[in-house]
Structure 1
Amino acid sequence: MFSVQPQSCSSCNVNCVRSLNHQPVCVQLQCIRKQRLKFHLLPAKWSGPITRSHIDRHYRIHSNVSLSVGTGAVPVEHDKANVNTPCAFLQLSINAFDYNCHVDLIKLLRQEGKLHRLRKARQKMSELFPLTEEIWLDWLKDEIRLTEDESDREKVYELFKRAVKDYVCPEIWLEYVQYSIGGMGAQGGIERVRSIFERALTAVGLHMTKGASIWEAYREFEIVILSTVQPPPGSAPSQEQQELLNAQLERIHTLFRRQLAVPLMDMEGTYAEYSDWADDGVPEMVTRQYRRALQQLEKGKPFEEALLVSEPPKLAEYQAYIDFEMKEGDPARVQIIFERALAENCLVPDLWIKYTTYLDRQLKIRDLVLSAHERAVRNCPWTMGLWKSYLLALERHGADHQTVTDVFEKALNAGFIQATDYVEIWQSFLDYLRRRVDFSKEWSRELDELRAAFARSLDYLKQDVEERFSESGDLSCTIMQIWARIEALHCKNMQKARELWDSIMTKGNAKHANMWLEYYNLERSYGDASHCRKALHRAVQCTSDYPEHVCDVLLNFERVEGSLEDWDAAVQKTETKINRVNEQRARVAEKEALQARQEEEKVEHRRKAKADKKGQKKSQKVNRTGDKRKADDEYEEEWGEDAGMDEELFKLRNSIVTATEELMETESGLFGRRAPPRKTEPPGFRKNQRGSSEAPQQPQDVSKEQRIDENCVFVSNLAFNLDDPEGKLRALFQGCGTVQQVRPVFSMNGVFRGYCYVQFEDRLAVPEALKLDRKEVDGRPMYVSPCVDKNKNPDFKVFKYKTAMEKHKIFISGLPYTCTKETLEDLCKQHGTVKAIRLVTNRSGKPKGLAYVEYENEAQASQAVLKMDGSMLENFTLSVAISNPPSRKMEDKGVPSRLLGAAMPRQPQGARGKGRTQISLLPRSLYRQSTPDAKAENGTISAPHTTETDGVHGGPGTTSPDTQSKSLSNEDFARMLLKK
């Protein structure tokens, strides 16, 4: 069972070891990190930290829990609340920044009624996090109920002051003013109430939907005060009483006028109330202000209605509202809408940055600006930019040095996610310290502090940051460069500057020419010629990226400063360096050329092997006994599974089938309606009969064909065993528009071919149908593409997604094949707002372990790349990068590939497709010999100059003059055989 038993931990030597079912658990954070202590209920190979879920699991398994101090603890039965309270305390001792655990502990202690521990828990949480409106209201109401004397009331007042600082909450302000009214009887109580009301109006009086409640409460309070200063009925007031009465009436009039000038909901009722209350009627100036406020209210109503109907956190709606108010230009209204947005989107750094930037540049009110910056870093402490802006704001508004230093120390402990963030925050603090130094004095305390801070920054980056991120974040040693320049420029201490630059060069920067030139410029400005020459000679010796540039700088320096001996030495050194560099580059170029040739040979070998294998398979299929290869099979094999049907042939078939729609089940798809398969007439007889029967139907109206194309989509990649494809697809596409016809394509034996045509009555339904592309149908992605005539547009292809870089989208590889869209969304939405997720699948719908995730903006995508790249998901290492697909290479239309074993260029087909007598009988070796001579002047390969006569190639008299002049005789063939 669980008991608190102080023991000494063997790792950290602290009496903090506790027992959980006789398992030692050290709650010291550093001990947990080192030892990775495990509960007995964790997996056998668990190597992660102890989390709250593991402790909760333990208490779900073991309902009897004991809580005692010392040894020999006895198990005691507790209810569920007592069971979870020690669990929450234990988790907070392990991780004090567990927000949910703080909330749970406060709820449990409130249920138990343990006020002292509840106060401490709330106090601890308020020090670490800004509290929500609900938590503050519960806390305030509990404290108000326990108020007994004036000292307790003062504590509640202080609590209210803290509560209104976290977020702008009209409910908390209303509770505040109502509580203050209860103390109006004390000395100075009325003025205190008015002061709190004025602060409330400043904070939330412009809230368009909830601000009216504060105004009404203020008016009611003043009306009550009016009743106390009025004389009794029938008595004449004294002069003093009359002055008090007139002053109180003026206060109420002023409140009405101020409220009517502010655009608030239900303004009409307030105006009517003022009209009834005022004896002399509403002044004209107040009426004009009221009408102007009504116009502003009408402008803001669409934004308020959008907020009312949208779901939290309503970030997009608030962004639009903020942009509107910033265009209007009223700083007070801009501030209130920012505060409303941040109350519901407190963890959005970009929103805080936008708000604080506006305050820094527009309002520039010290208390308002610094308060906003402080709340920003409390809500988003991991954002370095907010801390940097906070430091600048403190300096800008004249904060004392200790305050700036304390804020900087908090920033170092904020837990940034990148090593470069620590470098940047150190640079900001060092800039602040440098601006404090008076360099006209030889020595000052501020200068010593600046030098100490520079030294500390280098140690911090080397130890703390490198230990955490495996890098210092300052590869170019920017901080050391700035320090060296300050020493040289302001302190005239070139010796210290040279020591710093020596350290910079030893950190791997000696090979970079720009680093040496920066050092040379420093010596040139504040040093002497000998050190400049020494620096340039070292640069020529060590530089590897741009040696020519360094050599030119050295030679130019010697032209100005050097003697003849110096010039000769420089020329000799630079020539030696250039010769050595040229030799190295030649060796590298030779090596790269060799690798390129080897790679080309490998590619050529694979290409030839693939072409040979394809030619063998094709020849086997052609020579197979009894093979009656159909043109649609050859079309699919030659152009891929996703190739569409020949649109011209489909339209020809459609003109025939329209009159005999009842025979749709025997359609072949490419060839139109066929004769029954059992007919055994010779091919010539069947062809002539078919030609005579269909000849009158072949001519079609062009406008009708165009109409069919525009109203039709092509659906492919469907399962061959799909039941009732026509019915399923009709139901699927019915939501896009009125479906006129669904034409599934079947083979000769009635097997569904996996593709079909869907024709709508209206062309406007086609774009809606294309949106169903990649939709799963029986576990396979269905491809929906426009209906295009492939004879007129043979290279028409539609790629749905962009192929250029999209900075707001990330590409994830290495995903487990079992990963679902929901799992990936839960993982990615931790780093920003996910707009869309696309899991890449193959044709059968199986995932390929790849995905594209689209974020709302580039910053969120970059954040996701930094946090997710290299992370683990179900024992798979994820690789995450910004989406930048490789360019899709377009095939050269003028030069079709003519590889060994590849298919002949497609020939125009008749209504029956390609007849079996169209197969070329010329040996493949002769095709290979004639290929080089077949190239035309424009780079294209000339097609065989043959004509079709009744579907037969190459009869006597069918060759063109060009072909006839290059043809081979029997003697030529005989000589070729004899040569072999």
Structure 2
Amino acid sequence: MAAPGNAEQTQLQDMEEDEAGVEEREMESDEEEGMGVENSDDEEDESSEDEKENEAEIQRLEEQLSINAFDYNCHVDLIKLLKHEGELFRLRKARQKMSELFPLTEEIWLDWLKDEIRLTEEDANREKVYELFERAVKDYICPEIWLEYAQYSIGGMGSPGGIDKVRSIFERAVTAVGLHMTKGQTLWEAYREFENALLSTLQPPPGRIPSHEEQELLNNQLERIHTLFRRQLAVPLMEMETTYAEYEEWSENGVPETVVHQYKKALQQMQKCKSYEEALLVAEPPKLAEYQAYIEFELKEGDPPRIQITFERALAENCLVPDMWTKYTTYLDRQLKIKDLVLSTHERAVRNCPWTMSLWKSYLLALERHGSDHHTVSDVFEKALNAGFIQATDYVEIWQAYLDYLRRRVDFSKESSKELEELRAAFSRSLDYMKQDVEERFGESGDPSCVIMQIWARIEARHCKNMQKARELWDSIMTKGNAKYANMWLEYYNLERAYGDTAHCRKALHRAVQCSSDYPEHACEVLLTFERVEGTLEDWDTAVQKTETRLNRVNEQRAKVEAHVRQEEERVEQRRKAKADKKSQKKVQKGRAGEKRKAGRDDDQDEWNKDSAPKRQRAGGDNSATDEFMETETELLGRNAPPGYKPGGGTKKPQQEAGLPPRNQNDEKPELRDDTSSVFISNLAYTMEEPEAKLKALFETCGPIKQIRPVFSNKGSFKGYCYLQFESLVSVSEALKLDRREVEGRPMFVSPCVDKSKNPDFKVFKYNTSLEKHKIFISGLPFSITKEQLEEMCKNHGSVREVRLVTYRSGKPKGLAYVEFADEAQASQAVLKLDGMDVEGCKISVAISNPPRRSMMDKPGSSRPAADMMSRQVYGARGKGRTQLSLLPRSLHRQTAPVGKVENGTAAERATASTAPNAAGESRSLSNADFAKMLLNK
């Protein structure tokens, strides 16, 4: 034990050390405070600068949305910035505005709901959150949102009717997503946990016997939990074996036999679906192919609830795929036919893919099918007009769908009604809309055949018995460039035949014979048949005379066209022969010059033996013959014969020994033959240096290469294509996978080495010639723009997959480009935002890619009607130059000139006066303006 004195001394030392430590800590804290003042000032400056930058960015995004409210990415960026800045009022407003225009994703909804839940503490404001949840569950079927909704409702169970409200939400949740194979189990378990919590409140304390009423409540609650277990075990879910084991442990009397039977049946169904679920787990988003296979499986099984939940799961990840929505809505329309479900799904479809006309059209039909009021149908139609369709023809179809709906509302037994007046007003408005809005936007009429006007004329004739209005409408149709088509006149004739009189039928047929330029023979035949049935002898003579005159004139015109075509073909053949003769003469001259050079060589060169001689002389025989052969085969002077070459009739040519196509002596192009071990490589850059080495490095990964032969011109420049032979046939399939690989800025084409004249199936255009909704076509670009600049300009409107600048063969840009986006929605948005934009002083035009179909019928010598050949073949294969004048007779030009548009409903004769002779066979005199139009049109 220490002495008292020592103890006091030790205590004093401890106190002194404590005081010293306190002083030292105070000094350190003072220093830290001084430094903290400086640091806080710097942090405040930085934070203020960040706030200013963020506020400027917020204002920029708000301004951009005021210009284009349908910029989805701009909405997302604005919400993120406002949340970061803590602008709660503006954040709520931004989310509200976005939800009115677009269906929100699961992540955006959960973020919004959690923010509102944190801000809502009073019970009076809980109803607003409930309303927000109701909006959220309508956009997509999401288990997480339903689970959050049910858990939030548990917080209000203390209010009157709170428990019933929680149960109601849980029941709706398990009905909506309880069949979800992977996420449904979580919702079922949450429901059972809630009921178990209620069960614990009904359990009597230990030792006390419950009353009759308490026992009844307890039994009812136990039965609810039993029912939940049974319902869940009847549903095929992943890990349902765990639920069954839990039920066995929980149930005091064991699992009933009926439950075991239902469980085994559900387990078998789960095993069938397990492979599809596993495929979804390992697949990369958006998993479209996997979902389509899953849907096809469920459709074969035929269980409507499971089909519905599978569609909903697929659409949650592929909400911008119109075909998926179309397939889902079609199934609901034809199979389930539940009004609320069908109409809500149609509404979600057009909100997700508003640019797809077919979805709006099926929505209008569904509304009519389920008896929706007229005001609702009209509102949906007006929204469809403002949706921004991709093609002009889409507007024609949506108008037709709406006009059909209005026509079905009319009671034509009444002479006049409100519905009939509304139908006529809608027809008139549709014509104005197609002329003003559609033609201004697309630069073309979406209804060149005037289908809407034809329908209107038929309705007036058939249902309203108003032939005068029908004739006015059909006269207007003919003035819009349709008078040259025989089928349009015959449609009018059939209308008059059914609802008009004989005089107007005869007049229509006479005008058809006079004006039609595509199939006048058919119009003549119908006229003669009509007069056989209806006409007098005088009518018959008139018809015969008119048809003979018309057909003779047509035959004369066709003969002239055919003569011009033959002359042009002869000229082409003569030029080809002259070119071949000139080429052969040059080869002979070069061969003679080579012989002279060989004759002047030193005698020492003749004494070289085979071991010391160059390769071109080691083959034996006359060297001049070798050189001449190589000149005709490769068209390159100085090219040595390959090893093993032996001239003679029975010896293979070097290209044949290598398995490559031989050269044709009279043509620049190679004479192809089938070779399964070779490939043909084309569309290469003409400026490529050392093509053989570069292609070898590119294709040697496919397999051992036997030989590469690039093709050069007489001047020694690379012609952009070559032949490549592998040692093994297996390498060819690997080489074909490199087709369209970009090499020095151009897509390289790799195709089988096949004689296309003997295998016409290989004559296919390399690029797609159908409508490509995910790709846009840009014209009017400045020639100086680069691929990187164009990609930077387009990536603000979506995910850009590929950018291709169109160039001439020389590599000079054409001012055209194709840009491929990830999906159709992004391409549509890009068209809306980029069309008409000014790029380096050039106004560009943007449209959905729809390449023209290249037809072999346009080539000289092809078989096509003579009337169709006049526009191109009369001037040869290349067409007529802009500055050249036509040498055809003037009357022939008037037959083929396009009919101009006539404003204000002018008669059809005015539109066709310059394109066809009159009834007397005379042509009217042409003004200076007519001559100018003829020259400009050519």
Q: Is structure 2 residue 150 aligned with structure 1 residue 177?
A: yes
Q: Which amino acid aligns with 2:477?
A: I
Work out the CA distance in 1 between the residues paired with 2:583 and 2:784.
29
- Seen in structure 2, the aligned counterparts of structure 1 residues 352 and 623 have a Cα distance that, compared at 3 Å, is farther
Residue among 469, 483, 507 paired with 2:480? 507
Match of 1:403 in 2: 376
Deviations 1:481-524 (A, max 9, x none): 11111111111111111111111111111111111111111111
Q: For residues 624 and 332 of structure 1, do their structure 2 counterparts lie closer, same or farther at Cα, with a shift above 3 Å needed?
A: farther
User: Match of 1:239?
Assistant: 212
Provide the residue aligned with 1:447 in structure 2: 420
Residue 755 of structure 1, CA deviation = 10
Residue 353 of structure 2 is aligned to residue 380 of structure 1: yes
Identify the residue that residue 368 of structure 1 maps to in structure 2.
341
In structure 2, the residue matched to 1:265 is 238
Alignment-derived partner of residue 111 in structure 2: 138
Q: Which residue of 2 aligns with 1:804?
A: 764
Aligned counterpart, 1:467 = 440
What amino acid is the match of 1:277?
W
Aligned equivalent of 1:582: 555
State the distance in 2 between where 1:779 and 1:125 align.
Answer: 41
Q: Which deviates the most, 409-418 or 98-107?
A: 98-107
Provide closer, same or farther for how the CA distance between residues 241 and 434 of structure 1 changes in structure 2, counting only shifts above 3 A: same
Superposition deviation, residue 312 in structure 1: 1.6
Pick from 838, 851, 859 the counterpart of residue 881 of structure 1: 851
Judged with a 3 Å threshold, the aligned counterparts in structure 2 of structure 1 residues 129 and 744 are, in CA distance, closer, same or farther, namely closer
Q: Is the 8 A contact 1:835 1:856 kept in 2?
A: no
How far is 1:819 from its partner?
Answer: 6.8
- The reply on whether 1:557 has 2:530 as its aligned counterpart is yes
- SS of aligned partner of 1:340: helix
Distance of aligned partners of 1:712 and 1:198 in 2 relative to their CA distance in 1, 3 Å threshold: same
Query: Match for 2:179 among 194, 200, 206?
Result: 206
1:222 pairs with one of 178, 195, 212: 195
| Shift of residue 730, structure 1, vs aligned partner | 10
Deviation by residue 1:385-436 (Cα, 9 ceiling, x = unmatched): 1100110111111111100000000000011111111010000000001111
Cα-to-partner distance string for 1:32-78 (whole Å, 9 max, x where unaligned): xxxxxxxxxxxxxxxxxxxxxxxxxxxxxxxxx9xxxxxxxxx9995
Is 1:424 the counterpart of 2:397? The answer is yes
* Cα gap change, 1:334 to 1:222, in 2 (>3 Å): same
> What SS is found at the alignment partner of 1:560?
helix
Residue in 1 that maps onto 2:567? 594
Distance (whole Å) between structure 1 residues aligned to residue 792 and residue 55 of structure 2: 36
**Cα deviation 1:526-571 (Å, max 9, x = unaligned):** 1111221222222222222222221222222222222222222222
Q: Figure out how many residues of one structure are paired with residues of the other and give that number.
A: 744
Within 2, Cα distance between the matches of 1:534 and 1:544? Answer: 17
| Residue 571 of structure 1, aligned match among 540, 544, 557 | 544
Cα drift, residue 822 of structure 1:
12
Worse-superposed segment, 828-837 or 188-197 = 828-837
Using a 3 Å threshold, how does the CA distance of structure 1 residues 858 and 182 change in structure 2: closer, same or farther? Answer: closer
Whether the 8 Å CA contact 1:461–1:472 is kept in 2: the answer is yes
* One-letter amino acid of the structure 2 residue matched with residue 372 of structure 1: T
Summarize deviations over 1:577-610 as a string: whole Å, max 9, x none.
2233233333333333333333333333333334
Indicate if the aligned counterparts of 2:736 and 2:750 stay in contact, CA closer than 8 A: yes
Tell which deviates more after alignment, 776-785 or 462-471: 776-785
Matched, 1:491 2:464: yes
Q: How does 1:689-728 map to 2 (within 5 A)?
A: none
Shift of 1:226: 1.7
CA distance in 2, matches of 1:330, 1:635: 76
Equivalent residue number for residue 159 of structure 1: 132
| One-letter amino acid matched to 1:314 | K
Contact 2:412 2:464 in 1 (8 A): yes
> Are the counterparts in 2 of residues 808 and 858 from structure 1 also a CA contact under 8 Å?
no
Give how far 1:107 is off: 1.5
Go from structure 1 to structure 2 and tell me whether the alpha carbon gap of 1:778 and 1:553 turns closer, same or farther (over 3 Å shift): closer
Cα deviation per residue 1:684-728 (whole Å; 9 max; x = unaligned)? Answer: xxxxxxxxxxxxxxxxxxxxxxxxx999999999999989989x9
8 Å contact kept, 1:487–1:497: yes
Q: Does 623-632 or 164-173 show the bigger shift?
A: 623-632
Conserved 8 A contact 1:776-1:845 = no
Provide the residue aligned with 1:104 in structure 2: 77
Q: Which amino acid aligns with 2:764?
A: A
Mapped to 1, the partners of 2:494 and 2:278 lie a distance apart of 62
Query: For residue 288 of structure 1, what is the aligned residue in structure 2?
Result: 261
Q: Does 1:123 align with 2:96?
A: yes
Deviates more, 1:616-625 or 1:454-463: 616-625
Gaps of 5+ in 2: 1-44, 602-613, 620-625, 647-653, 659-674, 710-721, 860-938
Instruction: Sort the Cα spacing of 1:320 and 1:852 in 2 relative to 1 into closer, same or farther, 3 A.
Output: farther
How big is the shift at 1:834?
A: 7.2
In structure 1, stretches of 5+ residues that fail to align are 1-64, 66-74, 652-667, 673-708, 746-753, 890-980
Q: Structure 1 residues 582, 496: CA separation in 2 closer, same or farther (over 3 Å shift)?
A: same
* Matched AA of 1:166: D
Q: Secondary structure at the match of 2:358?
A: helix
Shift of 1:869: 13
Residue 900 of structure 1 is matched in structure 2 by none
Q: 3-state DSSP class of the match of 2:851?
A: strand
2:59 alignment counterpart: 86
Q: What residue number does 1:4 align with?
A: none
Note closer, same or farther for the CA distance 1:390–1:637 as it changes in structure 2 (3 Å cut): farther
Name 1:526's counterpart in structure 2: 499
Corresponding residue to 1:311 among 262, 270, 284 = 284
For residue 608 of structure 1, what is the aligned residue in structure 2?
A: 581
Is residue 419–residue 472 contact of structure 1 (8 Å, CA) maintained in 2?
A: yes
Aligned-partner Cα distance in 1 for 2:562–2:756 = 41
Q: Percent identity?
A: 65
Shift of 1:373: 0.8
1:357 to 330, 334, 340: 330
| In 1: Cα distance, 2:68 partner to 2:505 partner | 55
Counterpart position of 2:650: none
Which stretch has the larger CA shift, 219-228 or 394-403? Answer: 219-228
Distance 1:246 1:742, change over 3 A: same
**Pairwise CA distance, 1:768:** 4.8
Query: Does the aligned pair in 2 maintain the 1:89–1:105 contact within 8 Å?
Result: yes
| Partner in structure 2 of residue 977 of structure 1 | none
- Of 527, 543, 553, which residue of structure 1 is paired with 2:516? 543
Pairing of 1:654-669 with structure 2 (within 5 A): none
- Alpha-carbon distance in structure 2 between the residues aligned to 1:780 and 1:564: 71
Q: Tell me, yes or no, if the aligned pair for 2:361 and 2:401 is still in contact at 8 Å.
A: yes
Question: Could you say what secondary structure the match of 2:416 adopts?
Answer: coil
> For residues 70-91 of structure 1, what are the alpha-carbon distances to aligned partners after superposition, in whole Å with 9 as ceiling and x for unaligned?
xxxxx99953222211111221
Q: Distance in 1 between matches of 2:745 and 2:502?
A: 77
Instruction: With the length of structure 2 as denominator, give the TM-score of the two structures.
Output: 0.68
| Whole-angstrom CA distance in 2 between matches of 1:109 and 1:858 | 30
Q: How far apart are the structure 2 equivalents of 1:521 and 1:302?
A: 60
**Change beyond 3 A, Cα 1:438–1:769:** closer
How far residue 194 of structure 1 moved from its aligned partner, in angstroms, is: 1.3
SS at match of 1:881: coil
- Whether 1:392 aligns to 2:362 is no
Q: What is the identity, as a one-letter code, of the residue corresponding to 2:851?
A: A
Equivalent positions of 1:633-652 (< 5 A) are 638-640=632-634, 649=644
Question: Which residues in structure 2 correspond to 1:6-85 (within 5 Å)?
Answer: 78-85=51-58
In structure 2, C-alpha distance between the alignment counterparts of 1:108 and 1:567, rounded to whole Å: 83
Contact conserved, 2:457 with 2:474, CA < 8 A, in 1? yes
Amino acid at match of 2:763: T
What secondary structure sits across from 1:79 in the alignment? helix
* Counterpart contact for 1:260–1:293, Cα < 8 Å: yes
- Using the TM superposition, give the Cα deviation of residue 200 of structure 1 relative to its aligned residue in structure 2, in angstroms: 1.1
RMSD: 5.2
